[in-house]
C-alpha cells in the first residue's frame, strides 16, 4: 500500500496528498506532520514496532471538505486520491488515483471558498438579480451600488442591535424573521429618500430598487456578521466593505457591457448570453484572488 502511495505522491510532490483508505483520507510521512499541525489532529504512526515508523494521520471522508478548506486557507495545495474501483470486487490492492487537485489560487468548489474575504457577488454569488439587471449602464450601476451600500449599512447596524436583544432574552430563533423585516424596512426608507431627493434616480432605478428587498446579499451580510460574532464597529466596517465590493462588481460589469456595445459580436452571443459569460469570467477572476496572501505559517 505504501508503494502505491509513494508512486502517486511522486506525481504530485508539491501537494498534500489525501489518500483514501476505507472511510478515511490518510496522510503519511511529511504530509502527515504538516496536516496534523494545520488541522490540529492527532499524529500517529504506521508500523510502530519498526525502527523507523511512518508518521500518519487521517480525517473522515464525510467531513473532508472542511479539512481541505483549512489546508487551502493556510496556502497549501491538496491532491485528493480516491479509490477508482470497488473494493469488494478488487483483486489485491484497490486501484487509486488523484481525482482532483485544489489550489488556493483556483478554487472552483464553493465548499472551499473563504467567505471571510471574497466578493459577495462574484465569489459567493449573492445579489445576482440586481447585478445582472442594473449593470447595463455605468451611471445606473454606480447609483444602485450606493443604494445597496446604504441598505447594507442600515441592515448591519439593525441586525447587530436585534441580535444583541434576542440573545439577551434567549429568543435567537426569531433572528431570521427579524432580519428580513429590518431589510424590508430599510429598503422602504431608501425608496422614500430617493423618491423625494432624486426623482431622476428613482425613475432610472425603476423596479430594481424594490429588488433590494429580495437581494440575498443583504440577508447574507446580516447572517454572516452574526455567525462571526462581530462587535458593533466590526459590523459597520464589514457592511461598508461588502457594499463597496458589491458596487465594484456592478461597476466592472457595467463598464465591460458598455465597451461591448461598440464591439461587433455574433448575434447568438449578444444580450443576456454575453452578460452571463462576462459574469462567469469576472467570477473566475475574483476566485483567483483567494490565493493571494496565503502562507504556510
In order of their start, the domains of the chain are 2-112 (3.40.1170.10), 128-291 (no CATH)
What pLDDT is recorded for position 214? Answer: 58
Q: What is the pTM of this model?
A: 0.55
Q: Is residue 179 classed exposed, middle or buried when 0-12, 13-18 and 19+ CB atoms within 10 A define those classes?
A: buried
Give per-residue burial for 221-251: e unless 16+ CB within 10 Å, then b: bbebbbeeebeeeebbebbeebbebbbebbb
Q: Taking a C-beta distance cutoff of 8 angstroms, is the pair 138, 258 a contact?
A: yes
Q: What pLDDT score was predicted for residue 236?
A: 92
Distant-in-sequence, close-in-space partners of 34: CB < 8 Å, separation ≥ 6: 16, 76
Place of cell 463597496: 244
Residue 204, SS3 per DSSP: helix
Cell of 189: 426608507
Residue 94 three-state SS: coil
Structure confidence at residue 177 (pLDDT): 87
Cell numbers given for 273: 448570453
Q: What is the DSSP string of 233-274?
A: HHHHHHHHHHHHHHHHHHHHHHHHHHHHTTS---GGGSTHHH
pLDDT score, position 233: 92
Element (H, E) at 28: strand 24-28
pLDDT at 100 (0 to 100): 85
- Ranges of the chain whose pLDDT falls below 50: 108, 110, 115-116, 292-297
pLDDT computed for residue 3 by the predictor: 86
* Longest Cα–Cα distance in the chain: 82
pLDDT at 207: 62
pLDDT at 125: 64
Amino acid at each position: 500500500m505504501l508503494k502505491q502511495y509513494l508512486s502517486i505522491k511522486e506525481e504530485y510532490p508539491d501537494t498534500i496528498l489525501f489518500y483514501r483508505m476505507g472511510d478515511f483520507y490518510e496522510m503519511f510521512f511529511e504530509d502527515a506532520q504538516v496536516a496534523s499541525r494545520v488541522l490540529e489532529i492527532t499524529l500517529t504512526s504506521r508500523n510502530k514496532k519498526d525502527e523507523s515508523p511512518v508518521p500518519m494521520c487521517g480525517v473522515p471522508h464525510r467531513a473532508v471538505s472542511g479539512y481541505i478548506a483549512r489546508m487551502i486557507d493556510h496556502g497549501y495545495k491538496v491532491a485528493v486520491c480516491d479509490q477508482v474501483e470497488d473494493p469488494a470486487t478488487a483483486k489485491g490492492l484497490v486501484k487509486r488515483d488523484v481525482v482532483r487537485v485544489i489550489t488556493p489560487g483556483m478554487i472552483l468548489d464553493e465548499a472551499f471558498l473563504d467567505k471571510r474575504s471574497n466578493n459577495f457577488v462574484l465569489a459567493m454569488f449573492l445579489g445576482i438579480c440586481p447585478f445582472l439587471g442594473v449593470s447595463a449602464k455605468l451611471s445606473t450601476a454606480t447609483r444602485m451600488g450606493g443604494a445597496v451600500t446604504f441598505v447594507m449599512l442600515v441592515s448591519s447596524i439593525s441586525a447587530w442591535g436585534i441580535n444583541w436583544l434576542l440573545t439577551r432574552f434567549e429568543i435567537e430563533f426569531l433572528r431570521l424573521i427579524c432580519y428580513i423585516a429590518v431589510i424590508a424596512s430599510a429598503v422602504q426608507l431608501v425608496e422614500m429618500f430617493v423618491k423625494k431627493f432624486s426623482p431622476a434616480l428613482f425613475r432610472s432605478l425603476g423596479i430594481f430598487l424594490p429588488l433590494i428587498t429580495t437581494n440575498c446579499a443583504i440577508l447574507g451580510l446580516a447572517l454572516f456578521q452574526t455567525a462571526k460574532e462581530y462587535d458593533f464597529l466590526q459590523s459597520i466596517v464589514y457592511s461598508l466593505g461588502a457594499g463597496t465590493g458589491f458596487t465594484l462588481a456592478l461597476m466592472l460589469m457595467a463598464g465591460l457591457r458598455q465597451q461591448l456595445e461598440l464591439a461587433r459580436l455574433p448575434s447568438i452571443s449578444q444580450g443576456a448570453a454575453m452578460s452571463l459569460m462576462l459574469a462567469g469570467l469576472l467570477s473566475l477572476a475574483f476566485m483567483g484572488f483567494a490565493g493571494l496572501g496565503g502562507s504556510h505559517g
